[in-house]
């Protein structure tokens, strides 16, 4: 570089750019709404209740229209489970975290017998409290 003494180099201060990057990151993290549950293929029954689904410490049981079951916990993103094993699997999740609450996403077209099997399995294992998620009725 001609004209500048060898000891005076031009340096760019990166601090403002890093500050802007972190501000953008914080903005997007605070304004993003996370999907509570993947409801792909599930048409929930409707009701008038508007109770909120817990954000953490939950085990999510999905009962699909064909009767298949999927259990997801904070440590496990979701795996197929048999109706007779549901109660034991929920108890195993509660053994890892006592605050775990069971949330059931059941398709509105599930056969009554399948839901009865699930509830009986839960009762046999001693799981007597769970939340059944529904969509809010219009009007």
Measured distance CA(100)–CA(6) in Å, rounded:
65
For residue 37, being part of any structural domain is answered with no
For residue 8, being part of any structural domain is answered with no
For residue 94, being part of any structural domain is answered with yes
Domain that holds residue 77: 46-136
Cβ partners under 8 Å of residue 62, min gap 6:
37, 42, 69, 70, 71, 72, 78, 104, 105, 106
For residue 24, being part of any structural domain is answered with no
Coil, helix or strand at residue 42: coil
Among candidates 87, 95, 80, which has minimal Cα distance to 123?
87
Among candidates 98, 87, 81, which has minimal Cα distance to 124?
87
Give the CATH number for residue 116. 3.30.420.270
Query: Per-residue pLDDT tens for 92-132?
Result: 888 888 888 888 888 888 888 888 888 888 889 888 888 88
Query: Per-residue pLDDT tens for 12-35?
Result: 888 999 999 999 999 988 887 665
Measured distance CA(54)–CA(130) in Å, rounded:
11
Confidence band of 40 (pLDDT split at 50, 70, 90): low
C-alpha of 100 from chain center = 13
Cβ pair 93, 31 in contact under 8 A: no
For residue 118, being part of any structural domain is answered with yes
Cβ pair 39, 49 in contact under 8 A: no
Among candidates 70, 59, 55, which has minimal Cα distance to 127?
59
Cβ pair 135, 44 in contact under 8 A: yes
Q: How many domains does the chain have?
A: 1
For residue 39, being part of any structural domain is answered with no
For residue 121, being part of any structural domain is answered with yes
For residue 112, being part of any structural domain is answered with yes
């Amino acid at each position: 570089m001609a004209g500048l003494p060898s000891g005076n180099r031009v340096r760019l201060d990166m601090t403002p750019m890093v500050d802007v990057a972190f501000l953008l990151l914080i903005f997007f993290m605070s304004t993003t709404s996370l999907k509570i549950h993947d409801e792909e293929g599930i048409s929930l029954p409707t009701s008038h209740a508007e109770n909120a689904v817990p954000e953490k410490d939950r085990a999510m049981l999905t009962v699909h229209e064909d009767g298949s079951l999927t259990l997801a916990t904070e440590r496990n993103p979701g795996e197929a489970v048999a109706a007779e094993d549901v109660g034991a699997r929920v108890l195993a999740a509660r053994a890892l975290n006592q605050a775990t609450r069971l949330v059931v996403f059941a398709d509105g077209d599930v056969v009554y017998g399948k839901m009865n099997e699930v509830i009986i399995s839960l009762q046999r294992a001693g799981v007597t409290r769970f939340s059944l998620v529904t969509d809010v009725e219009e009007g």
